[in-house]
Chain A
Amino acid sequence: MDLKLDHHTQDDTEIVVVEGEIDVYTAPRLRELLIDLVNKGNFHLVVNMEKVEFLDSTGLGVLVGGLKRVRAHDGTLDLVCTQERILKIFRITGLTKVFGIYESVQEAIDKRKSK
């Protein structure tokens, strides 16, 4: 399945909804979207990955790149993911310590606002 991207604003946070496969073929589109959102002043992002079917290290690189960009503006980039097959790659690479990974969009927003 190809990559579908959507985004909307919720509680002062830009929610990016990703569906499909994030790999070396599709990752550039996600990268462009994240760059565009940051350039337009959205510094608090939540990437909802509940409908992601495949994620490789190229996709991880794009998420790390997005995190670097928002942090440059004292922003945040958190993830929503409960799928074990996707969480596995975050564990292998040690990125569970780098990203906030939550079970729902609302939980991600609430955690950020409570900090």
Chain B
Amino acid sequence: MAPVQLTISALPAHVRMARLMATAVARRAGIAESTLDEIRLAVGEACSRAVEAHRAHCPSQPIQLDLIDSAGPRSSSTAQDERSNPAAAPHNGHPAHRFEVVVSDKAPAKESAYANGSSGVAPSLGEHTPPGGVSGLSPDVGLAVIVGLADEVSIEPCAEGTVVRMSWPLGPTSPEDTRLAG
């Protein structure tokens, strides 16, 4: 399936649209029904984080989502180094067929506990609420949820913003593949 690209404004209402679109494209790509809930939540977390960051720093700038089925043709903008793009990496000598979601924001990046894929810690009641936010939790909690839900994740702060890549295997998966610890 050809890649789908979506651009949203830094509006909370647009996060829901992004979730709906990502879930629809994932379903069409052949993602197992049991995994669709995880994609919906992970994409929502990534977009919520991006929207909050844009509202604080650059509210007029758009946020970009790339929805990529690695079994289909790839656009030039999504053909990345395999090391930083797990969906494109071969698996056992065969191209891995994966569904990948890339959320790219343009807000100034700050180091997160979840950058480079490190595991995080449970939130405490002492966490602060970000300026203008409604959450009583650190923004890193959203990234912790993404790390917990996606099969493979990379969070890359860069000069232009932050790129969150999440991917899931396409096709049927065993319960062990999708079951969450705890």
Residues of A within 8 A of B (CB): 21, 23-25, 27-28, 31, 54, 56-58, 60-65, 67-68, 71, 85, 88-89, 91-98
User: For the complex, is B142 an interface residue (Cβ under 8 Å from A)?
Assistant: yes
Residues of chain A within 8 A of B149, CB atoms compared: 92
Residues in A with CB closer than 8 Å to B51 are 24
Cβ of B135 and Cβ of A57 under 8 Å apart?
Answer: yes
B37 contacts A57, CB within 8 Å? no
From DSSP, what is the main secondary structure of chain A's interface residues? Answer: helix
In the assembled complex, the CB of A25 is this many whole angstroms from the nearest CB of chain B, namely: 4
**Distance between B44 CB and nearest chain A CB, rounded to angstroms:** 5
Question: Which residues B1-50 have CB closer than 8 A to chain A?
Answer: 12-13, 15-16, 19, 37, 40-41, 44-45, 48
B80 at the interface (CB under 8 A from A): no
Residue contact B137 to A64, C-beta cutoff 8 Å: yes
How many A-B pairs have beta carbons closer than 8 Å: the answer is: 99
Is B159's CB within 8 Å of the partner chain A? no
Q: Contact check: which of B19, B40, B134, B181 meets A27 at CB < 8 Å?
A: B134
Q: Which residues of A contact B145 (CB under 8 A)?
A: 56-57, 89, 92-93
Residue contacts A-B, CB under 8 angstroms, 21 given: A24-B12, A24-B51, A25-B16, A54-B41, A57-B137, A57-B142, A58-B133, A58-B135, A62-B135, A64-B136, A64-B137, A65-B129, A65-B136, A67-B125, A68-B136, A85-B37, A89-B145, A92-B148, A93-B141, A94-B122, A95-B122
Closest B residue to A62 by CB, please name it: B134
Q: Are the C-beta atoms of B125 and A92 separated by less than 8 Å?
A: no
Closest to A67 in B: B125
Q: Is B68 an interface residue (CB 8 A)?
A: no
9 closest Cβ contacts across the A-B interface? Answer: A94-B122, A61-B135, A65-B136, A92-B148, A25-B12, A91-B182, A61-B137, A64-B136, A61-B136
User: Nearest-CB distance from A56 to chain B (Å)?
Assistant: 5
Q: How far is the CA of A24 from the CA of B129 in the complex (A)?
A: 13
Q: Which chain A residues lie closer than 8 Å to B144 at the CB level?
A: 92-93
Residue of A nearest to B37 (CB): A85
- Check A57 against B16 for contact (C-beta < 8 Å): no
Besides A25-B16, A61-B136, A68-B125, 20 other CB < 8 A contacts?
A24-B44, A24-B48, A24-B134, A25-B13, A31-B134, A54-B19, A56-B48, A57-B135, A57-B145, A60-B137, A61-B137, A88-B180, A89-B145, A91-B180, A91-B182, A92-B149, A92-B182, A94-B122, A94-B123, A97-B122
